[in-house]
Each structure stands twice: as structure tokens, then as C-alpha cells.
Structure 1
Amino acid sequence: MESILESLYHGNLHPDENIIPDDPQYSILRKRVSDIIELWKDRHSAEEFDELEALLDLYGQTHGMELASSFKYGFRLGAGIMVEILTGEEELGSRLISVGDKT
């Protein structure tokens, strides 16, 4: 088994593909969404359904960007906590998590 650093180097880390919520409501909600999409497909014209799919695709893209930003912030926050713990410099960690892109 590769170390985390080796996996990172080889491009084998894909957290977005490996995170599945363990909340029991998740699978229930996913099923409801799927059922509602099928209802829309049955009740609306092909053109209207294509518009819905385009909207859902846009939502998926923006949601993916939000998840990536949350992941980066969480990683920086964790690293900042570790810096504060290891160095004893309480404000250094706070300064580190504020560094980076503002997207």
C-alpha cells in the first residue's frame, strides 16, 4: 500500500470520488431526487426535461466548486491548528488559513 505522500505524488488521491455521506437520510434523499427527476421526465416535454437537465448540470458544477472550496478551507484549518500546536504561536495558524485563493 502506498503512503499518502506517494499517492499524492502519483495522482491517486481523489477525495471527491471517495466521499459518500454516512448519514442514513442520504440514500433516502438520493432516491427521492431520482424519483422526482423521473416524474419530471414523464410529465414534461423532452425540451423541458432537457432544460431541467441543463439546470441540474449547472447546479452540479457550482456545487462541486463549493465542495472543493470547503475541502481546501478545511485542510488549511487543520494545518493551521497543527501549526499552532507544534509551534505554540497561536496567531500563526490563523494567518496561514487566511492565505490562498479567494475564489
Structure 2
Amino acid sequence: MSNLIEDLFHGNLRLDESIHPEHSEYQEINRQISDLMQDYKTQLTESEYDALEQLIDLIGQSTSMYVEAAFEQGFRTGGRLMIEVLSKP
């Protein structure tokens, strides 16, 4: 059994690799995105498609930053909750 603190120290903790959304429509949405991108690739010029990909990459970067901030906020809130729970008799 691994030690969470040791894994954290050694950089072995990769929470982002263990995220698997449980929403039933998640896979379907990803399939639709893939289908739409394939359609755009055939309908747009190469430069237009490249611009679309750039936009999608920027949205992905923005979303990643937001998710990271949300994770940090949730982690801090959980820590404060534990302190409150453990400090009250």
C-alpha cells in the first residue's frame, strides 16, 4: 500500500490522471466533439481550421487553469473544515 505523503513528496501523485467523469453523457459529448471537428476539418480551409484549433487550445488552457484553481480552493476548504472539526470538542 502506498503512502500518500511519500507519493506527494516524490511527485508520484497525479490526480489528473485518475479523473473519470461519471456522467453518462460524457462519452457521447466527446464523440460529438470529435465528429464536429472532423466535419470542420473537411469544410474549412487549412488556415481557418488551424485558427479553430488554436481557439480550442486556448479554451483548454483556460479551463485547465480554472479547474486547478477550483481544486486548490476545494482542498483549502476541506483543510479548514478538518481543522474546525478536530478543534471542537
- Asked if TM exceeds 0.5, the reply is yes
SS of the residue 1:48 aligns to: helix
Q: Distance in 1 between matches of 2:18 and 2:53?
A: 24
Query: 2:78 maps to what in 1?
Result: 78
Residue 17 of structure 1, CA deviation: 2.2
SS of the residue 2:86 aligns to: helix
Q: Distance in 2 between matches of 1:74 and 1:55?
A: 28
Which structure has more RCO (C-alpha within 8 Å, separation ≥ 6)?
A: 1
> Unaligned stretches of 5+ in structure 2?
none
Q: Distance in 2 between matches of 1:56 and 1:10?
A: 33
Q: What is the number of residues matched between the two proteins?
A: 89
SS of the residue 2:25 aligns to: helix
**What is the RMSD of the two structures over their aligned residues, measured on CA atoms?**
1.3
Q: Distance in 2 between matches of 1:10 and 1:24?
A: 35
Q: How does 1:1-103 map to 2 (within 5 A)?
A: 1-88=1-88
SS of the residue 1:24 aligns to: coil
Q: Distance in 1 between matches of 2:41 and 2:20?
A: 27
Letter in 2 for 1:22: E
